Homo-oligomer: A and B are copies of this chain.
Amino acid sequence: MATGRTHRPATRSRGIPEATVARLPLYLRALTALSERSVPTVSSEELAAAAGVNSAKLRKDFSYLGSYGTRGVGYDVEYLVYQISRELGLTQDWPVVIVGIGNLGAALANYGGFASRGFRVAALIDADPAMAGKPVAGMPVQHTDELEKIIEENGVSIGVIATPAGAAQQVSERLIAAGVTSILNFAPTVLSVPDGVDVRKVDLSIELQILAFHEQRKAGEEAAAAAGSAGEPGTGAAESPAAPAASATATATATAAAAASGVRKGGPEGDVPAVMPA
């Protein structure tokens, strides 16, 4: 999970669970693809597969929105696209500002996924005076001094922070003071904001760290399996990698290397059922 909510209690606004809200964009994306292919209806099973979720979960999610399906048939694609869009608030225009136009900020400014939904980049803002006026994604970068004016004039309520960690808190305070009530934070810092302001965060390195954890675990399990169930990770401590620290690390590394070479996967094609650990 690259992200998480901050502050704000449970958000069960009018009954739609947070977990469901987080999946709606997923469904919307799958539905949009179907719509472009002029598919008129989908069953929960098909749509669930396209969105990468369980069909029962999808049906329950939709049940929170209302009864938009037809039993024995499925869901009308166009209709559902509209309903979800409306529920998510994408039928209206959301001006956003991006603060911090470094590599990431520039990438975000160029990202097509924003405009295709209801989002419009109202301004790019950077603290570096040298950046001011420079065009990024066909739009001149403006200086931080203009921040308040831009937000108020454009009625911006969503801000994206792509500054270095050190500047993020201060930027968030200025955004909030100027009227922003939702922040998407890419800076690796915990933002402290008043109640009523939503913050979602995306931390690229956190995602990688989580992958590393699972990767290490996979390597460890493989090593254990290869070693022929030596000590069996005992019930007590969770220290599979702990006990013999040195050897554990060594085996893990060795296994990783082995896996990387040719040991695993002999199949040419993708769907080979993998190694199959215990």
Contacts and interface: CB of A to CB of B under 8 A. Distances in A.
User: Residue among A110, A151, A154 with the most chain B CB within 10 A?
Assistant: A110
Contacts of A210: 21-22, 25, 88, 200
Contacts of A257: 82, 155
Given A2-B1, A215-B158, A270-B173, A91 B235 contact: no
B103 A66 contact: no
A81 B261 CA distance: 12
A228 interface: no
Number of copies: 2
Contacts of A259: 157, 179, 181
Interface stretch (A113-121, A123-131, A138-146): A113-121
Contact of A255 (B6, B79, B237, B271): B79
A252 interface: yes
A30 B203 CA distance: 14
A196 interface: yes
A229 interface: no
Interface in A88-141: 88-92, 94, 96, 102-104, 106-108, 110-111, 113-114, 116-119
Contacts of A51: 190
Contacts of A200: 2, 207, 210-211
Interface string A205-223: 1111111111111100100
Contact of A260 (B116, B179, B251, B276): B179
A257 B203 CA distance: 31
Given A78-B272, A194-B273, A198-B214, 18 more contacts: A2-B200, A22-B206, A24-B213, A36-B266, A66-B242, A76-B272, A76-B273, A78-B258, A79-B272, A81-B264, A87-B213, A89-B213, A91-B261, A104-B107, A119-B208, A157-B215, A157-B259, A179-B260
Contacts of A227: none
Interface in A3-45: 3-4, 6, 8, 11, 13-16, 21-22, 24-26, 28-30, 35-36, 38, 40
Contact of A190 (B35, B52, B193): B52
Given A196-B275, A208-B96, A260 B157 contact: yes
Contacts of A82: 254-255, 257-258, 263-264
A207 B275 contact: no
Interface string A60-74: 000011111010000
